[in-house]
Amino acid sequence: MPVTTGNLIGSIIGAGPGEVVMHQNVSICQSIVTSCFDWGGARNKLVTDGLNFPSNDYIYYGLQRQGAQVCSVESPDGMTLPLELMLDAIDEQTQLVSVSHVAFRSSYVQDLGAIVKRAHEVGALVFADLYQSAGILPVDVGALGVDFATGGSVKWLCGGPGAGYLYVRPGLLPQLQPAATGWMAHRHPFEFEPGPIDYATDSFRFLNGTPNVPALYSARSGYEIVNKIGVSAIRAKSLRQTQRLMERADEAGLPVRSCRDPGKRGGVVVIDVPNGKEVTRELARREVLVDYRPGAGIRIAPHFYTADEEVDHVISQIRSIAGAGGNA
């Protein structure tokens, strides 16, 4: 199940069969990947973006105990990150570059291709968090040359909790020995051999203990639907509806904090009104399901099932709760 379910994700993110394994969540996948490296040597720098998800940061800063030098590239405005700032931080001391393809707060899209190119030029590897992109934005890990990718299923993949995924570029497998491991990563797991692990030679080497099989069954139909519709069609509709959301917000005088440039905009539109948390609670009471993030605002996320009338409805509801210009 961790591998056959992973195949359903593989076809969404451009990975081949057997190249994606399922885990419980992104935090576990981050721990597994970072446990493959020696952080005590000269190449000890881990470059991450200041828009990355906090769990990832917590794991990276924990690696300082092993000698890692963490360089978090600060976003000038908390919402975007100019590419040059990321590229400038990646140097010969860099072992791993971690990047959120689409930032969770602002839905800002980072240039994964350029980051991979720069990292590979200096001999560093790239770990992409695709949580906010896979299923809404076309991603092709194979074509991009990304070394590791992870994400989960609570958002665009519609698979629910407990179903995170991990992609590792196949050419890297022989050189990676995750210290965070378990019996299912053994070459012969059902021999239950004691002592040091003899790793499986395929992607099973990135498994650990007993997988959460029921969560994987419950996640599969979401991936099947996304595969069936196709991410290109989903993206085309998403761009149209996020544009519509911003136009309606402009008309209502509500402050939009998302990127207007469609190339830099993920699937979420952020509207920043005062008391956004309370407004979001009232929206939920009115059965309008959006989300609020401190430092950003109200996140509205139309997907393949969202009707245009719902897009218009959410803006008129925010306007009626928050008032003109977002002032309640």
Ligand X SMILES: Cc1ncc(COP(=O)(O)O)c(C=O)c1O
Distance CA 249, CA 264 (A): 19
Three-class DSSP category at 305: coil
Q: Minimal CA–CA distance to 150: which of 299, 265, 262, 34?
A: 34
Only one of the segments 22-30, 180-188, 206-214, 229-237 lies at the binding site for ligand X (rule: CB under 6 A); that segment is: 22-30
Structure token digits, residue 46: 């881990």
Nearest distance from residue 94's CB to ligand X, in Å?
Answer: 21
Only one of the segments 20-28, 65-73, 177-185, 203-211 lies at the binding site for ligand X (rule: CB under 6 A); that segment is: 20-28
Nearer to ligand X, 52 or 242 (CB): 52
Rg (CA), the chain: 20
In contact, 35 and 86? CB cutoff 8 Å? no
Distance CA 101, CA 112 (A): 6
Nearer to ligand X, 59 or 322 (CB): 59
Separation in Å, CA 40 to CA 36, 66, 90: 12, 6, 18
Separation in Å, CA 162 to CA 95, 151, 210: 29, 11, 13
Nearer to ligand X, 112 or 322 (CB): 112
Nearest distance from residue 15's CB to ligand X, in Å?
Answer: 18
Query: Is residue 27 involved in binding ligand X (CB under 6 A)?
Result: yes
Nearer to ligand X, 94 or 107 (CB): 107
Nearest distance from residue 209's CB to ligand X, in Å?
Answer: 17
User: 53, 127, 206, 223: which one contacts ligand X (CB under 6 A)?
Assistant: 53
User: 39, 104, 167, 204: which one contacts ligand X (CB under 6 A)?
Assistant: 104
Nearer to ligand X, 19 or 129 (CB): 129
What values do phi and psi take at 45, rounded to 5?
-90, 135
Which residues are at the interface with ligand X (CB under 6 A)? 25-27, 53, 55, 100, 104, 129, 131-132, 152, 164
